[in-house]
Amino acid sequence: MVDENFTSRKTGISDILLNDIKYVVPPYQRDYSWEVEQLDKMWEDLNESVETNSHFLGSMIFQISGNKKEYIVIDGQQRLATITILLAVIRDLLSKKGMDNSGAIRINQNYILKEFEGEEETKKLELNLRNKDFFYNCIQKFSDESSESKFKDYEQNFGKLEKTNKKIKDAYFYFEKRILDNIENLDLERTQKYLNNITKTIRGNLILIETLVVSEEEAYLIFETINDRGLDLSVSDLFKNYLIRKSSQDTRDEIVGIWNEIALSLDEKIRPFLLHYWLYKYEDTTEKKLFSKLHELIEKKNVKVLNFVTDLKKEAIVYSNLLNPSISYWNDDDTVELLEDLNILGITQCMPILMSSRYHFSGNNKEFKKVIKVLINFTFRYRTICNLANNAQDRVFKIITKKLRTGDIKYANQISQQLKDIFPNNEEFKGNFIEKEFRIPKLAKYLLEQIELKIKDYPENLDFKSLTLEHIFPKNPDNEWIEYLKNQNSHLIENSEKYVYKIGNMTLLDLKMNKGASNYIFPKKRDEYYFNSHMKINEELKEKACWNETIINERSANFANLALDIWKL
């Protein structure tokens, strides 16, 4: 249980900049990463705040360290670093433009490099291991050198910039250019006034919610609760920082290396992986409780950090290959194809079941493939077609995961039995299938491929990768289509949004045929393209005299009957 031993308050960025607190980014936290898109947004927001007198920066989370004059930056480092860069640009311009140097000195002493009690001049903000030296030497350090010279000298002394430090350099020159463009035609007095006004705007108009915590566990809970897009720290960073802090000195570099491999293999999927790993490996939990569970595992159950991270890496490799299957990993075409089909359906809640099944059926690939097929069929009916609520599905998925973990489930058909109580019946499935609009091309293509496999009566394998999705009645009908439908007294044009994405209005053609068919009216498509197709799914199209909403509905219903037999438990 996490004690609510934290405080939150609304404050201005001026309080953060002017107080006597040093802000330190943990050594292994995320590197500086802002690019032009984020810089544009900050610059625009800053300028708009001149009219509104305020701009909300979002929340920032700081952890109080043993030294109460030093806060650890849990969330907010990207924004703090960027504001520091902007202030450094203003300082340097004030210094280099032949103006009164006192403004530049004030900015430097008040906001960038401060004299803390009992210490020499030091950094107000200290970035992580990869950024801090570059940030100090090229941004924070006040120098008579030109900005170009500072960056050039650093590269000559330390070599080519790392990607993250190049982003800091790019941010500096981004703000410098924006300001220079605005002062190009101003005299000295107005230039100084403009630069001082930007500083006043930063100091006076930027507001935020500051939250102070005393532990990573509280930071994690708050992070999960807030969970807004403005947060620049990921859950994985909190995990990483905690694990590194709890590791021994002689294993720290190894743990950092392993973690970086995990992050590289999973990219943005690392957050769901951490939860799914826990559900599969340990016990049922939620994202909000996940950090507490990790804390308990390391602190109370004395699991070694290196052992934990090593196992995490092993399972991350599995997770990555479940999401992005390759023949080099699975050594089985059918497994790869089934996993690709499951991923097309876009559901991740079943990943703990897959991870557990892969472990328990590691010596029985046939049984593992049965599990994948069960999950495909369930997901297609439950979520893709019927779009039923997650809560019942998630409850059953957790039961299955637990039974796999405890060994109570030994075969794929036992998973089917667990799912049957919430599996949509044939009538519900068929009704939803006929009315469904398939707006995601790869999903519609997958569905038609399965139908083709169901109805084909020839033995050779089809290369579905060479086929493309064709809308018989096109998404953008031309005048010829409009006249064609008028002559049939069809209302398809008036109801085009309803019918164009129905499965009955779609088929498969090879790319060359599809490009040729283009927006042609149905009779021309039929005679010149469908007639020459070898696809079984196009046979009935060769016999159709016309194309309208009635035929689309009939074809959707025919496909629905086939689907009942394809996607079943």
pLDDT band at 232 (very low <50, low <70, confident <90, very high): very low
**Are 54 and 134 contained in the same domain?**
yes
Predicted pLDDT at 116: 57
Predicted pLDDT at 566: 96
**Are 28 and 135 contained in the same domain?**
yes
Distance separating alpha carbons of residues 568 and 378, to the nearest angstrom: 7
Question: Would 92 be classed as within a structural domain?
Answer: yes
Domain that holds residue 536: 465-566
Question: Would 521 be classed as within a structural domain?
Answer: yes
Predicted pLDDT at 234: 59
Question: Would 437 be classed as within a structural domain?
Answer: no
Q: DSSP assignment, residue 519?
A: T
* Residue found under tokens 């405890």: 406
Predicted pLDDT at 160: 87
Distance separating alpha carbons of residues 259 and 257, to the nearest angstrom: 5
**Are 171 and 93 contained in the same domain?**
yes
**Domain end residue (candidates: 292, 324, 356):** 324
3-class SS at 389?
A: coil
**Are 208 and 148 contained in the same domain?**
yes
Predicted pLDDT at 459: 59
Say whether pLDDT at 355 is over 80: yes
For residue range 191-222, list pLDDT tens digits in order: 999 999 999 999 999 999 898 988 776 776 66
pLDDT band at 229 (very low <50, low <70, confident <90, very high): very low
Separation in Å, CA 340 to CA 56, 346, 419, 452: 43, 10, 22, 17
Threshold 0.85, pTM exceeds: no
**Are 250 and 278 contained in the same domain?**
yes
**Are 124 and 253 contained in the same domain?**
no
Distance separating alpha carbons of residues 331 and 255, to the nearest angstrom: 30
**Are 109 and 182 contained in the same domain?**
yes
Pair of tokens at residue 226: 């807030």
DSSP per-residue codes, 479-491: HHHHHHHHHTT--
For residue range 56-98, list pLDDT tens digits in order: 998 888 988 777 688 989 889 999 999 999 999 999 999 876 6
Predicted pLDDT at 543: 92
For residue range 505-563, list pLDDT tens digits in order: 999 998 888 787 788 999 999 998 999 888 899 999 999 999 999 999 999 999 999 99
Predicted pLDDT at 458: 64
Average pLDDT over residues 45-50: 90
**Are 211 and 249 contained in the same domain?**
no
**Domain end residue (candidates: 324, 354, 388):** 324
Candidates 555, 554, 550; CA nearest to 538 is: 555
Question: Would 349 be classed as within a structural domain?
Answer: no
**Are 480 and 525 contained in the same domain?**
yes
For residue range 135-177, list pLDDT tens digits in order: 999 999 988 778 788 899 999 888 889 999 999 999 999 999 9
Predicted pLDDT at 117: 57
Question: Would 332 be classed as within a structural domain?
Answer: no
Mean pLDDT, the chain, rounded, equals 89
Question: Would 248 be classed as within a structural domain?
Answer: yes
**Domain end residue (candidates: 186, 216, 246):** 216
Question: Would 292 be classed as within a structural domain?
Answer: yes
Reading phi first (left if > 0) and then psi (alpha if -120 to 50, else beta), residue 363 is in: alpha
Predicted pLDDT at 1: 39
**Are 18 and 148 contained in the same domain?**
yes
26, 70 in Cβ contact below 8 A?
Answer: no
Q: What is the dihedral of CA 393, 395, 401, 405, to 10 degrees?
A: -170
Pair of tokens at residue 132: 């801090």
Average pLDDT over residues 361-370: 92
For residue range 470-505, list pLDDT tens digits in order: 999 999 899 999 999 998 888 898 888 889 999 999
Say whether pLDDT at 36 is over 60: yes
Per the model's pLDDT, the better-predicted residue between 237 and 82 turns out to be 82
Distance separating alpha carbons of residues 137 and 168, to the nearest angstrom: 12
pLDDT band at 28 (very low <50, low <70, confident <90, very high): confident
**Are 191 and 79 contained in the same domain?**
yes
Predicted pLDDT at 373: 97
**Are 210 and 242 contained in the same domain?**
no
Predicted pLDDT at 228: 42
pLDDT band at 274 (very low <50, low <70, confident <90, very high): very high
Question: Would 170 be classed as within a structural domain?
Answer: yes
Query: How many domains does the chain contain in total?
Result: 3
The b/e string for 114-145 (b: 16+ C-beta within 10 A; e otherwise) is beeeeeeeebbbbbbebbbebbbbbbbebeee
The residue type of 154 is: Y
